[in-house]
Amino acid sequence: MERFDLIVIGSGPGGYVAAIKAARLGLKTAIIEKDKIGGTCLNRGCIPTKTLMHGTNFLAEAENIKKAGITFTGINIDFFRLTERKNEVVEKIRSGIENLFKANGIKVFSGRAAIISHNTVRVELRDGTACGETADLVAKNILIATGSVPAVPKIEGANLENVVTSDDLLESGGRQYRKLLIIGGGVIGVEMATIYNGLGCEVEIIEAMDRILPGMDREISQSIGMGLKKKGIVIHTGAKVTRITEGGAYGLACEYIEKDSVKTAEAEGVLISVGRRAYTEGLFGEDVNIETESGYIKVNSNFETSIPGIYAIGDVIRGKQLAHAASAQGVAVVEKICGLEPSVDLDVIPSCVYTVPEVAAVGLSESEAAEMGYRVKTGKYPMLGNSKTMLSMGERGFIKLVCDADTGRILGAQLLCDRATDMVGELALAISRKLTYKELASIIRPHPTYEEAITEAAEDVDNMAIHVIPRKTL
């Protein structure tokens, strides 16, 4: 029976970061993974989708290249090579994490974990030399970072062939459909729509809410919706899928209700993308009664469960299901265990959507700030006035700042533009450090860059942006 200071269950972004942080702080650390190192984000989520999207974006760039005066003939999509490249990137990152485990002295156990007491984890080993054997590990602290799996609603026909989840598409070699129907217009659905549209596939989205990306700023949702429609993607909102059947010109028929009318959409493949649920199957032994709520593990402000010494982070608890949020939570737990002051601001978490153009948001939207009682002022800069956007032949978009009119403090930011996901970190820092829009505007940003738009948006709060037509005032 091996003893550790910390046992981490799950090697996704939350788990592996926590394990490395713990080892760096001198804790004897073990990590248990039932599948592949890296978890959902690396193997079936963030990295595969962004790699595929990077590849398909070259097709759009090709059109811009022609506009720039460079001509060529013949562009073909090699779907096999595209997915092969995705696998290469995933494998390279996975190998890097494994090397970090070795370098930091972290012991890795491959197998399925079950917590059998407040300090003991039983691992059903699946190593080639020890398959079927079990090992009991004892630790002062246990961290649950088992992540999530796709939620599949109770829809008739959801188990049919070619009705898939994002995990199915991204972990496998994938498949190139003639037409793909996506149930759910959230982040995953919109990103997959962008990828498959880029591959030349017909794409149709059915979303139950009144708009796609319902969790984002309404203006961004509307702008992304218009952009997707312009690319030929069909979008139904306020629509509910009732059943999926075999048949039709493509092989599958999806029945849905829209505006009290029963309609049918046909497709070769149906992607179910209606969110994810916490993964806890087989995690707790008979004598371990950890409190849960609606399938999620309940934790306190220190991410400690109802059993002292057992913690949980990431998708397995309520909150934003984001890789970087899980990583930050992992760091926070380890620092708490080591008696250190927290080094991460967990209240400011950016969200990103990797469409074209990109979407990023942090802090409060305009409506959220108003609902919380703030007197709101906003500044907005349209990206078509930005020199870098123009010379790069970028898409329409904007940067918007949401501010407290009484103090000038920045409360939130929404970005719809090229490199939005790279720029949002600066705005997260501004919100975390409680900067005002005037302080944000005081920084000299290089020209020509996308970042110049941040200065313009900050100056626009007072209607003083240089490259914006001034608003009429009474």
DSSP structure class, residue 402: E
Nearest to 303 by CA among 285, 287, 276, 327: 327
Do 115 and 14 belong to one domain? yes
CB-CB contact of 236 with 207 (8 Å): yes
Q: How far apart are CA 427 and CA 247, in angstroms?
A: 50
Residue 110 lies in a domain: yes
In a domain, 441, yes or no: yes
pLDDT at 173: 64
Say whether both 194 and 290 belong to one domain: no
Tokens (6 digits) for 320: 């934003």
- Are residues 193 and 291 located together in one domain of the fold? no
> Which residues are designated catalytic?
447
Residue 59 CB-half CA count within 13 A:
19
Q: Looking at the structure, tell me whether residues 321 and 456 fall in a common domain.
A: no
The 3-state secondary structure of the chain, one letter per residue: CEEEEEEEECCCHHHHHHHHHHHHCCCCEEEEECCCCCHHHHHHCHHHHHHHHHHHHHHHHHHHHHHCCCCCCCCCCCHHHHHHHHHHHHHHHHHHHHHHHHHCCCEEEEEEEEEEECCEEEEEECCCCCCCCEEEEEEEEEEECCCEEECCCCCECCCCCCEEEHHHHHHCCCCCCCEEEEECCCHHHHHHHHHHHHCCCEEEEEECCCCCCCCCCHHHHHHHHHHHHHCCCEEEECEEEEEEEEECCCEEEEEEEECCEEEEEEECEEEECCCEEECCCCCECCCCCCCEECCEECCCCCCECCCCCEEECHHHCCCCCCHHHHHHHHHHHHHHHCCCCCCCCCCCCCEEECCCCEEEEEECCHHHHHHCCCCEEEEEEEHHHCHHHHHCCCCCCEEEEEEECCCCEEEEEEEEECCHHHHHHHHHHHHHCCCEHHHHHCCCCCCCCCCHHHHHHHHHCCCCCCCCCCCCCC
Kindly state whether residue 262 falls inside one of the protein's structural domains: yes
Q: Does the residue 241 lie in any domain?
A: yes
Q: Which of 258, 250, 94, 227 minimizes the C-alpha distance to 161?
A: 250
Last residue of a domain, one of 220, 240, 274: 274
Q: Which stretches in the chain have pLDDT values below 50?
A: 129
pTM (two decimals): 0.93
Same domain, 283 and 370: no
Q: Position of tokens 């059109």?
A: 63
What CATH number is attached to the domain comprising 39? Answer: 3.50.50.60
pLDDT value, residue 77: 82
> Does 194 share its domain with 90?
no
**Structural domain tally of the chain?**
3
Please tell me whether residues 195 and 182 are part of one structural domain: yes
Per the prediction, the chain carries an average pLDDT of 94
Do the domain assignments include residue 469? no
**Parent domain of 195:** 163-274
Token couple for 31: 């990590």
The per-residue pLDDT for 128 is 53
> Do 30 and 41 fall within a single domain?
yes
Asked if 127 and 215 sit in the same domain, the reply is no
Q: Do residues 36 and 137 both lie within one domain?
A: yes
Do 450 and 320 reside in the same domain of the chain? no
Residue 395: which CATH number? 3.30.390.30
Residue 468 lies in a domain: no
In angstroms, the CA 237 to CA 59 distance is 28
Same-domain status, 121 and 33: yes
Answer yes or no: is 71 within a domain.
no
| Contacts of residue 164, Cβ cutoff 8 Å, sequence gap at least 6 | 269, 270, 271, 272
User: Do the domain assignments include residue 288?
Assistant: yes
